[in-house]
Amino acid sequence: MSHVFLGIPTAPRGVGHLRGDRPFPEAAREALRDGQLRANLGHATSTIRAKRAAVVGELPDWEQLRAAGRAIKAATMARLDEHLLELEARVTERGGTVHWARDAAEANAIVTRLVRDTGADEVVKVKSMATQEIGLNEALEAAGIHAWETDLAELIVQLGEDRPSHILVPAIHKNRAEIREIFLRTMPDVDPHLTDEPRQLAMAARAHLRERFLRAKVAISGANFAVAETGTLAVVESEGNGRMCLTLPQTLITVMGIEKLVPTWRDLEVFLQLLPRSSTGERMNPYTSLWTGVTDGDGPSEFHLVLLDNGRTATLADEVGREVLHCIRCSACLNVCPVYERTGGHAYGSVYPGPIGAVLSPQLTGVEDNASLPYASSLCGACYDVCPVAIDIPSILVHLRAEHVEAQTRLTPEAVAFKALAKAMSNSRLWRTAQKATRLGRLLARGRPILPATLPPPASQWTFSRDLPTPPKETFSEAWAREHRR
Amino acid sequence: MTARDEVLARIRTALGPDRPPPEIARDYRTTDERTVAELLAVLTDRLEDYRATVLRCAPDAVAATVAAALDAGLGAGWDPASVVTAPGLPGPWRPGGAAEDDGRPAAELAAFAATLTGVAVAIAETGTLVLDGSPLSGRRALSLLPDCLVCVVEAGQVVSGVPEALTRLDPAAPLTMVSGPSATSDIELNRVEGVHGPRTLLVVLVA
């Protein structure tokens, strides 16, 4: 089933951050030249890989939890319309207001209007992928509303006028010395003797944001989970900035992708075990907040939930690709990916980098708007192994590559070569002749096991980034025929 | 067509009419054979791993142990008026002279040095305390703004894992799961304790 035939719109162009301004190979080549970036990423990802492996290894039933997580998400998607209506009914019963947004532009307009209605000209924000995806901060800024990011890594990115490069730790590409430099440059009241010790840097962020939390009238969050049967929303975090935002302001606005829900309260018993161990490599994250509508005398008196499509229903229409909607944004796949570890997140262009980004972004935007991403992988499968909901990322990458190839109207040299190969392989006489012909390649190899990378074009397009083995003196079938000759 | 109707129509188009949801096998662990003593040991180990401080005591020694916890958290000679308690905290657990949360504007709670609350449930395997907004746990801002948090946990409130804990909780209540002091892994993915929430967590474990 293809996206195009059903006519379900993908995420629109011109708003949000799902598309890069150049293809992955070009951006990656530049990132690979940044030695500091590679050192920072190598250090951070190897730290987190070891932590995750230790806490996952501790649970004897990890594989059962993983299978249950996968099944719960598949069941959620199969009845997504019904679960969303149930969620809406429960949230409304408990004093919340539910809004629906077809795309990024509509979600931004809804949130901007809601903030304006409160009269506030600033908001505090909990780290949220959905609001990054739709470019909410820029939309608010254009309306004269300043958004304060309160998660430490988001704050580093915001103050440094940088872009996020990781789902969980958007400033993973910065080391402590670089973070210290950003704080000294941008925080008005910072202690000039600030060192690069992580604890001191965390304290500087605390001092910088404390008053803003206490005076804020409006907070904006995302959601890790929403429970359809109870109307409960959950935010999983570490620092307490989430709790500040979810508790102190009078108005809370939560922007959530429609795929983030689970059907029952009981389902949380699976995801609250899978998520922290996969993301920060902890048995449990320091703080998880769960709220249902509004509670008198405890927390915000006004609660708005914005349900966001922005290409998710188009993704749901693809029977193979829809599995990406199971993602719980843990980022374990980024941390194990040999490609991500070397290029970092910026090379992917979208706010969703790494293996999951390579299958999610092209589906939200339509493959042709992110055509290089399905190729940003060696298909090694490490991402599938660590995924807490067992998303088969390598298979979806291959599926999207096929979709991209089928969408091509002009013949590429690669397509011509493969057409010729298909013809040769469908006829045994032609195939044997072709095999004999490849033996000419042995002349180029001059006895080395790999052909030189500097073949003439168009063959160089292939050999530039791939090893082409020297053709053998004799093929397997020739050897078989020789040895078994009667 | 409203956005709501359109999004729902898109979902129905995307899924088509035939879409049986798969079976969910819940063959992971939901109960535990361990004794209470074993669970308390696991809970203590996990909390200490998060750099929380755990003080064990008998039911008749809660007040003295709370005082010892506050000595550790605030330094000896702390002012009882700088400590605020949840409104439903049992009288015998409270330090003499401590304030009670009377529902004042939440931001005013930031003036206190320490908070003293009970909990709804504690999860041994993950080192988690769950506060549920009841008079014993207090509202959410209470366990958030003061820099030092002391929680009293009774042995009967300790369960083995997450599944058991969720069955004891009311989804409609404002719930906060606390696993150690506030922390961040945002600098080079190393965990550092203490950001916006309480930088010090002390647990009085009553058994």
pLDDT digits (tens, 9 = 90+) for A277-303: 999 999 999 999 999 999 999 999 999
As a whole number of angstroms, the distance between CA B118 and CA A48 comes to: 33
pLDDT of residue A439: 85
Q: Which residues 68-97 of B have a C-beta within 8 angstroms of A?
A: none
Nearest CA-CA distance, residue A301 and chain B, Å? 13
Instruction: Indicate the SS3 state at residue B134.
Output: coil
- B31 contacts on A by Cβ (under 8 Å): none
Rounded to the nearest angstrom, the minimum Cα separation between A205 and chain B is 8
Do residues B159 and B120 make contact, with C-beta atoms less than 8 angstroms apart? Answer: no
**Is residue A366 pLDDT above 70, yes or no?**
yes
Residues A312, A259 contacting (CB under 8 angstroms): yes
Chain B residues touching residue A179 (CB < 8 angstroms): 187
Q: What share of chain B is helix, strand, coil (3-state, %, to 5)?
A: 30, 25, 45
8 Å CB contact between B130 and B120: yes
Nearest to A246 by CA among A284, A168, A298, A206: A298
Task: Give the least confident one: A233-247, A330-344, A440-454, B88-102.
Answer: A440-454
For the stretch A21-53, pLDDT in tens is 999 999 999 999 999 999 999 999 999 999 999
C-alpha–C-alpha distance, residues A58 and A47, integer Å? 17
Domains of chain A: 1-409 (3.40.50.10420), 413-483 (no CATH)
pLDDT at A87: 98
- Residue A71 scores a pLDDT above 90: yes
Confidence of residue A408 (pLDDT cuts 50, 70, 90): confident
- Contact in structure between A331 and A166 (CB atoms under 8 Å): yes
pLDDT given at position A474 = 87
C-beta atoms of B182 and A286 within 8 A: yes
Q: Which residues lie across from B83 on neighbouring strands?
A: B114
A370 pLDDT tier (thresholds 50, 70, 90): very high
Is the Cβ–Cβ distance between A76 and A263 less than 8 Å? yes
Res A456: pLDDT: 77
Helices A176-186/A152-159 angle, 10° precision: 60
Is the pLDDT at A411 greater than 90, yes or no? no
CA distance A45 to A49: 6
List, as own/partner pairs, every contact residues A432-437 make where C-beta atoms lie below 8 angstroms and the sequence separation is at least 24, other chains included. A435/A471, A435/A475
Mean pLDDT of chain A: 94
For residue range A463-483, list pLDDT tens digits in order.
777 888 888 888 888 899 899
Tokens encoding A111: 């949130």
For residue A51, give the nearest of A288, A346, A331, A269 by alpha carbon: A331
How far the first Cα of chain A sits from its last, in Å, is 52
Q: How far apart are the first and last CA of chain B?
A: 61
Residuewise pLDDT in 10s, chain B (207 residues): 999 999 999 999 999 998 888 999 999 999 989 999 999 999 999 999 999 999 999 999 999 999 999 999 999 999 999 999 999 999 999 999 999 999 999 999 999 999 999 999 999 999 999 999 999 999 999 999 999 999 999 999 999 999 999 999 999 999 999 999 999 988 887 788 889 999 999 999 999
pLDDT tens string A132-160: 999 999 999 999 999 999 999 999 999 99
- Partners of B26 on chain A (C-beta within 8 Å) are 68
Contact A198 B140 (CB under 8 A): no
**pLDDT exceeds cutoff 80 at A458:** no
What is the per-residue pLDDT across A387-406, written as a single tens digit (0 to 9) for each? 999 999 999 999 999 999 98
**Residue B31 and residue B164 in contact, taking contact as beta carbons nearer than 8 Å:** yes
The mean pLDDT of A88-104, rounded to a whole number, is 98
Please check the confidence at residue A461 and state whether its pLDDT lies above 90: no
Residue B191 has a pLDDT of 81
A185's CB contacts (< 8 A; 6+ apart) are none
Least confident of A248-252, A442-446, B114-118: A442-446
Question: Chain B residue with minimal CA distance to A102?
Answer: B3
For B179-204, b where at least 16 C-beta lie within 10 A, e where not — what string?
bbbbbbbbbbbebbbbbbbbbbbbbb
Q: Per CATH, which fold does B50-206 belong to?
A: Rossmann fold (3.40.50)
Smallest CA–CA separation between A64 and chain B, in Å? 5
pLDDT band at A99 (very low <50, low <70, confident <90, very high): very high
In chain B, which residue's Cα lies nearest the Cα of A215? Answer: B107
Decide if A265 touches B, using CB distance below 8 A: yes
Task: Show which of residues 86-145 on chain A sit within 8 Å of chain B, judged by CB atoms.
Answer: 94, 99-102, 106
- Which A positions 322-381 lie with beta carbon below 8 A of chain B? 322
Rg (CA), chain B: 21
Instruction: Decide the pairing of beta strands B128-131 and B175-178.
Output: antiparallel
Q: Is the pLDDT of residue A2 over 50?
A: no
CB A43 to CB B21 under 8 A?
A: no
The whole-angstrom separation of Cα A184 and Cα A192 is: 7
